[in-house]
Each structure stands twice: as structure tokens, then as C-alpha cells.
């Protein structure tokens, strides 16, 4: 302790000041200013035009589609993430590290590729295109394609939050539960889930934010049909391209708002359950 | 906790099921729906035209509702999407070649260009220059674009139809100079593209780059797009410069046979395109600065469309198939002149 304090004393105060200023400047330039700009541009012509832009039928369709896509992708990837993390951390099996790498893949490949693979698989000229065509099933350039691309891109979020935590926790408690005669499900819901619920929630929140905000992969498979297959990020691009800058930023601000609300919910829950959280850590 | 999780899983399952059902049932809905897959600068034209046509359709079909959905993007990219399965009933693209590409895949009859009057191009346009107000760099003609230090904005000919017209207009200009040869034309176009700092994928992207982000001294673009930018951003920001010579751009339209036959929308799709040739359709095109084919409508709007010398792709390049093969195919002249010399 005393060592560290004397080290701090040796640093000239101007250096400390400069470093802090630099950090603040960086934060303002990279994070705060863009956020402020979105809202400033959206409200440039007042609240009337702002709300009018959000109530426009195509904007409403985009909002509905975005929520629908998130409502499908997030539960799917929550179940998948839980199952994958459970399997990877509580059991030993052949090919485990390969599975871990595969789960990470959507993080490392470009979203454009994530979209393009679906065109190559299910597009009219793709591997399964002719087959799907026979049964008149449209995957690409429809809501189904948008959902598929989003599911792929958001696949790792829950699993990636859970795996490190569950690895650190080990499987001692589950083993104890097993010796006491608990079934697999009972062990999962009474032992494992309470231990990981905060990480799980954080993973779900990140997954939701990404599912609503994904642009690249969705842009490839959507076909950009106004009011039908345009999610909010795509609708922002369409509006921007139509010189409707206020409307574009209005929809963008709503998207930013969704993200802020997601983070606020997380902070609120953390504050509300601070005691439980501490108890859990203590254990 | 256990309950809420299983409920979620069930909800997800229902969601997927409903989704499949929704896409399946789509075709059986009574309200007619058309999808018009178009290129970039036509957003405003077709937004107005769709309303006009829907009213006309309801009037002549005992009040039947018709809804026309729109998709816009670079012309080449849009053609690619239709080939990959985007269910367009009609395509209204920037040039005939992009529709040919769809026809080659069997989705449109090969003779599509003769099915409607005027090479299936209900309106024409040309490529002009948009410069900063007052034209500070005194850009008047194509050779001004190759001057040192002039920054030129045009989209990428690989993905944008307008950009291919730009490129061919510049080439045709160089070719008709005294002692112009394919070699001097190639050098001229190469010099021009050296002055291009950003290649957007579509015409609208380039307009935004030039007008909103304020990059570049001159934008080469569609006549209609130049007027639209001038109106959108207010007077006194930009000037439109008509070069004494440019190219006759024929943006073509076609019914996508494979899709309309499957969806049972052929009658509506054909009526939609034919209505473009009526006086009402032509008038709307003219008001949006597309040059109408109808002589009377054109005469009424003569002041909007300065008379400059226009050459056609057929005359100078022997048709689009030839132009595409020589200039824009992989390894073609455009690739050669924009390739960076290897280190």
C-alpha cells in the first residue's frame, strides 16, 4: 500500500491531469458525441416531426419486425447458450474444443459472410434453392432469412458469457446434488441456474442488443423491401438515402434508446438485487 | 424459473411456426401486392407513381386495392438479388444489361426488350454534372474532369447502372475528339478515375457523399438525380452543368415472368408497366426530371430538358452486351485501368 502511494507521488501532477484529460476526451469523442448527435439530429425540427417520423407505417413495420426478430433469436440462443455452456463445462467429451471454437465463429467472421452463406445455401441459385422453390418456401429476401441471419450472428453471446463463469465454478456443487439423488433437471434448476443467473441475464441483454442492431448480415438477406423486410437498422439506411435525415435519425435514436433501456434494466436489477448478488459471491 | 423457460421455448416454437405459415399464406391474400425492384434514384418517382397507379387500378377494377412494395439499390446489385430469389414482379432498372442478366437465368423471356415500346424504356435520361454553387472550378465539359486536382464523385460501375452510363459517356467523349482512338479513350477514362476518391455502390450513395458529406468538386450523375439533389438541399448550394455532349441513358423495365406466373400477378404487373407510357405516367416522369418518350409531354416540358447532343450505346459501343463484356466484366477494361500497379 505504502509502495503504491509513493509511486503515485513520483508522477508529476501535470501528467496525471493530461492522462485524465486524454481519457475524457477520448470518451467524449468516441462515445458521447455520436450518441448526442443522434438525438440532436433527430430532434432538430422539434418533437412533432420526431414522433411523426416514428409513427409512419414503414417505420412502425420496421420496429415490429425488429422486435419480432429479437423475440425469436434471443430465446433460441438463450436455450442454445445454456445447453452449450452446460455441456462444455460440466462434461468431458471428444471434440469439446472444436465445439468451443465453432461457437466463437460468428464473433470472428464478418457479418456480411454470415448473410452471404444463407444466400449460397437457400438462395434461388443456392444448394437448397431448387428444392425450396418446388415447395414455394422463401427463405432469402423474407422475414425468415432475416431471422436466420440474426440467429447466426447472435449465437455466441449467451454461451460466451456463461462458459468462463461456469468453468470457474466447476462441477462440485452439481456432483454434490447428484450424490444426494437429485435428477439432472432438478440439479440444473436448483443448483446451476441460481449460480449463473447474473451472467445469463447479461448474456441475454447483449444478445438482445445485437439482435436488434445487426446490419451487415441482415442487409445481405433482406432484399430491402420497404415496410416488409427492412429492420430498424436497414430502415435507417433507406431513410438516409431518401434525404429524410430527421426521420433516419429518429429511428436511429429509438434504436439507441432500446440499447440504453437494456443497459438501464441491467443496472436497475443489479442495484435491486445487490444483496443477493453479494451473498452469491460470498458463497 | 423452470416455467418461464419452458414458456419461452414454446413461444419461440410458435413464433417460427407462425412465420412459416405467414410466408406460405402470403400468396393467397386477396389484396393484390406487387414488388417493384428498382435502382437507386427512382425512389421518389415510384413513390408517387405507385399512388397514381393504385388509384387508377382501383378505378378500373371495381375498387380493388393494390399495394406496390419497393426495393431500391445499385442496379447491378438489385439484378443479382432477383437472380438469387428476390420475388420481384417487375424490375425497373438502370440499363438493359441488368435485365438481360436476369433473362439469361430464365426468369424473364429473352425478347423482353421488344415487349414494350421504345426498347422497354418508358423514359430516358442522361448524365450531367453537379458542381458546388458558382462552379468555382469552372467545370464545363468532360475533359475538365481529368484536370489535376479536380475531385470527381461517381459510383462504382461494377454495382451501379448510373456509373456505367457515366463511364461510357466519358469514353464516348474521348473517342470523338480529333485523333481520338480506343487507346486515347482508355487513357482519358483512366485519368478520370484517378480523380475519384470514393466509389459508392449506388447513385444515391454518391449523391449523399457529394451533397451531405461535402466530398468532391463534381458529381457525375443522372439528370433527374442532379435536379432532386438541388431541390432537396435547397437552392444556392449546387449548380447543374450540362456538358455539350453526353449519353442517352435508357432505364429499362420488364415483368419478371417466372415470378408473376407463380404468384398470379401478371395482369397487374403488365398494367403497372404499361401505365408508365400513358400521359399521366409520362407527365409524372417529366415532373421528376426523367425525359418522357411522349412527344407532347416532352414538348410541354421542353424547358426542363436542355437539348444537348446525345449518343447511344448501340451507336458507339455496339450494344450493351458488347459494352459489358469489354468494359465491366471481370478483368475488363475497368478492372485493368483501376488496378493498382503491383509493388
What is the pLDDT averaged over residues A59-79? 96
Residue-level pLDDT at B8: 46
- Mark yes or no for CB contact B84/A126 under 8 Å: yes
Q: How does DSSP classify residue B290?
A: P
* Chain A residue whose CA is closest to B79: A223
Express each pLDDT in B135-177 by its tens digit: 999 999 999 999 999 999 999 998 888 999 999 999 999 999 9
Q: Residues of chain A with pLDDT > 70: what percent?
A: 93
Residues of A in contact with B8 (CB under 8 A): 75, 78-79
Reply yes or no on whether the pLDDT at A197 is more than 50.
Answer: yes
Residues of A in contact with B73 (CB under 8 A): 224
Residue-level pLDDT at B236: 85
CA B30 to the chain's CA centroid: 31
* Chain A residue whose CA is closest to B13: A72
- Mutation pick from A143, A225, A246 vs chain B, by most beta carbons of B within 10 Å, is A225
Residues of A in contact with B205 (CB under 8 A): 241
What is the pLDDT averaged over residues A40-61? 92
A10's CB contacts (< 8 A; 6+ apart) are none
Q: Which residue has the cell 419461440?
A: B12
Residue-level pLDDT at A136: 84
Numbered residues of chain B with Cβ closer than 8 Å to any chain A Cβ: 1-2, 5, 8-9, 11-12, 15-16, 19-20, 22-24, 27, 35, 40, 43-44, 69-73, 81, 83-87, 105, 204-205, 208, 212, 232-233, 262
Tell me how far CA of residue B91 lies from CA of A69, A102, B115, B147, in angstroms: 28, 40, 14, 38
What is the pLDDT averaged over residues A11-29? 90
Give start and end residues of each alpha helix (H) in B84-219.
96-104, 117-120, 161-175, 182-194, 203-211
What is the pLDDT averaged over residues A218-243? 91
Residue-level pLDDT at A234: 95
- Arithmetic mean of pLDDT over chain A: 88
Measured distance CA(A147)–CA(A126) in Å, rounded:
18
Tell me how far CA of residue B301 lies from CA of A78, A255, B305, B331, in angstroms: 61, 44, 7, 42
Reply yes or no on whether the pLDDT at A242 is more than 90.
Answer: no
Residue-level pLDDT at A133: 84
B23: confidence class by pLDDT, cuts 50, 70, 90: very low
Measured distance CA(B6)–CA(A78) in Å, rounded:
12
Residue-level pLDDT at A4: 53
Residue-level pLDDT at A169: 87
- Arithmetic mean of pLDDT over chain B: 89
What is the pLDDT averaged over residues A122-138? 88
* Chain B residue whose CA is closest to A228: B69
Residue-level pLDDT at A198: 85
Centre a 10 Å sphere on the Cβ of residue B218 and count the other Cβ atoms it contains.
22
Express each pLDDT in A140-169 by its tens digit: 999 999 999 999 999 999 999 999 989 888
Q: Residues of chain A with pLDDT > 90: what percent?
A: 53
Pairs of residues, one from chain A and one from chain B, whose beta carbons lie less than 8 Å apart: 90
Determine contact, residues B282/B293, Cβ cutoff 8 Å: yes
- Mark yes or no for CB contact B85/A79 under 8 Å: no
CA A48 to the chain's CA centroid: 31
**Number of residues that this document lists for chain B:** 343
Residue-level pLDDT at B11: 47
Residues of B in contact with A144 (CB under 8 A): 19-20, 23
Residue-level pLDDT at A243: 82
Residue-level pLDDT at B27: 39
Reply yes or no on whether the pLDDT at A281 is more than 80.
Answer: no
What is the pLDDT averaged over residues A229-241? 92
A222: confidence class by pLDDT, cuts 50, 70, 90: very high
CA A122 to the chain's CA centroid: 25
Task: Report the sign of the C-alpha dihedral through residues B107, B113, B115, B116, in that order.
Answer: positive
- Mark yes or no for CB contact A226/B86 under 8 Å: no
A219's CB contacts (< 8 A; 6+ apart) are A112, A115, A234, A237
Residue-level pLDDT at B28: 40
* Chain A residue whose CA is closest to B40: A241
Q: How does DSSP classify residue B341?
A: P
Paired residues of B222 in beta bridges: B127
> Is A208 an 8 Å CB contact of chain B?
no
Tell me which residue in B5, B15, B22 faces A71 most closely, judged by beta carbons.
B15
Extract the runs of DSSP E, i.e. beta strands, from A76-209.
none
Express each pLDDT in B173-232 by its tens digit: 999 999 999 999 999 999 999 999 989 988 889 999 999 889 999 999 999 999 999 988
Residue-level pLDDT at B15: 47
Cell numbers standing for residue B104 = 439469361
pTM for this prediction: 0.82
Reply yes or no on whether the pLDDT at B71 is more than 60.
Answer: yes
Express each pLDDT in A72-82 by its tens digit: 999 999 999 99
Amino acid at each position: 500500500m505504502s509502495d503504491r502511494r509513493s509511486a503515485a507521488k513520483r508522477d508529476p501532477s501535470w501528467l496525471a491531469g493530461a492522462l485524465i484529460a486524454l481519457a475524457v476526451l477520448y470518451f467524449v469523442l468516441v462515445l458521447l458525441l455520436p450518441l448526442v448527435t443522434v438525438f440532436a439530429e433527430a430532434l432538430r425540427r422539434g418533437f412533432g416531426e420526431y414522433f411523426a417520423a416514428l409513427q409512419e407505417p414503414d417505420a412502425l413495420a420496421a420496429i415490429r419486425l425488429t422486435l419480432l426478430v429479437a423475440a425469436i433469436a434471443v430465446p433460441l440462443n438463450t436455450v442454445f447458450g445454456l445447453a452449450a455452456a452446460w455441456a462444455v463445462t460440466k462434461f468431458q467429451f471428444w471434440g469439446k474444443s472444436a465445439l468451443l471454437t465453432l461457437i466463437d465463429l460468428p464473433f470472428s467472421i464478418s457479418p456480411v459472410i454470415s448473410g452471404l452463406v444463407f444466400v449460397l445455401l437457400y438462395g434461388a441459385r443456392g444448394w437448397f434453392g431448387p428444392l425450396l422453390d418446388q415447395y414455394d418456401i422463401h427463405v432469402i429476401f423474407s422475414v425468415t432469412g432475416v431471422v436466420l441471419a440474426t440467429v447466426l450472428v447472435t449465437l455466441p453471446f449467451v454461451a460466451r458469457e456463461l462458459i468462463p463463469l461456469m468453468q470457474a465454478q466447476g462441477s462440485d456443487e452439481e456432483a454434490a446434488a447428484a450424490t444426494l439423488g437429485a435428477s439432472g433437471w432438478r440439479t440444473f434448476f436448483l443448483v446451476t441456474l441460481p449460480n449463473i443467473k447474473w451472467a445469463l441475464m447479461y448474456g441475454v441483454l447483449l444478445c438482445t442488443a445485437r439482435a436488434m442492431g445487426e446490419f451487415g448480415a441482415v442487409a445481405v438477406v433482406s432484399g430491402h423491401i420497404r415496410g416488409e423486410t427492412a429492420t430498424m437498422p436497414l430502415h435507417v439506411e433507406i431513410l438516409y438515402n431518401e434525404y429524410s435525415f430527421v426521420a433516419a435519425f429518429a429511428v436511429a435514436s429509438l434504436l439507441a434508446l432500446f440499447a440504453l433501456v437494456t443497459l438501464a434494466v441491467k443496472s436497475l436489477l443489479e442495484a435491486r438485487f445487490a444483496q443477493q448478488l453479494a451473498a452469491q459471491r460470498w458463497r | 424459473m423452470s416455467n418461464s423457460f419452458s414458456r419461452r421455448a414454446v413461444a419461440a416454437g410458435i413464433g417460427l411456426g407462425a412465420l412459416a405459415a405467414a410466408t406460405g399464406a402470403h400468396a393467397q391474400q386477396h389484396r393484390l401486392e406487387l414488388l417493384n425492384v428498382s435502382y437507386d434514384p427512382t425512389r421518389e418517382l415510384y413513390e408517387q407513381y405507385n399512388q397514381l397507379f393504385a388509384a387508377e387500378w382501383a378505378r378500373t377494377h371495381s375498387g380493388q386495392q393494390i399495394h406496390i412494395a419497393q426495393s431500391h439499390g445499385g442496379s447491378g446489385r438489385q439484378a443479382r438479388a432477383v437472380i438469387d430469389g428476390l420475388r420481384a414482379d417487375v424490375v425497373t432498372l438502370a440499363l438493359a444489361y441488368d435485365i438481360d442478366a436476369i433473362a439469361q437465368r430464365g426468369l424473364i423471356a429473352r425478347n423482353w426488350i421488344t415487349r414494350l415500346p421504345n426498347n422497354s424504356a418508358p423514359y430516358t435520361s442522361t448524365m450531367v454534372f453537379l458542381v458546388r454553387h458558382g462552379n468555382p472550378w469552372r467545370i464545363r465539359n468532360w475533359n475538365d474532369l481529368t484536370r489535376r486536382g479536380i475531385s470527381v464523385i461517381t459510383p462504382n460501375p461494377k454495382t451501379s447502372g448510373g456509373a456505367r452510363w457515366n463511364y461510357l459517356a466519358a469514353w464516348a467523349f474521348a473517342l470523338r475528339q480529333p485523333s481520338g482512338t480506343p487507346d486515347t479513350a482508355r487513357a482519358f477514362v483512366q485519368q478520370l478515375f484517378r480523380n475519384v476518391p470514393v466509389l459508392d455502390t449506388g447513385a444515391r450513395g454518391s449523391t449523399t457523399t457529394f451533397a451531405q458529406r461535402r466530398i468532391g468538386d463534381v458529381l457525375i450523375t443522372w439528370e433527374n438525380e442532379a435536379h432532386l439533389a438541388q431541390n432537396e438541399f435547397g437552392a444556392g448550394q449546387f449548380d447543374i452543368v450540362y456538358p455539350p455532349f453526353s449519353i442517352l441513358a435508357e432505364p429499362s423495365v420488364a415483368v419478371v415472368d417466372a415470378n408473376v406466373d407463380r404468384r398470379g400477378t401478371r395482369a397487374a404487373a403488365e398494367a403497372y408497366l404499361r401505365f408508365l407510357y400513358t400521359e399521366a405516367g409520362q407527365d409524372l416522369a417529366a415532373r421528376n426530371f426523367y425525359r418522357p418518350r411522349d412527344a407532347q409531354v416532352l414538348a410541354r416540358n421542353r424547358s426542363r430538358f436542355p437539348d444537348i447532343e446525345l449518343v447511344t450505346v448501340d451507336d458507339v459501343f455496339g450494344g450493351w452486351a458488347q459494352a459489358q463484356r469489354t468494359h465491366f466484366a471481370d478483368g475488363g477494361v475497368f478492372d485493368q485501368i483501376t488496378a493498382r500497379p503491383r509493388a
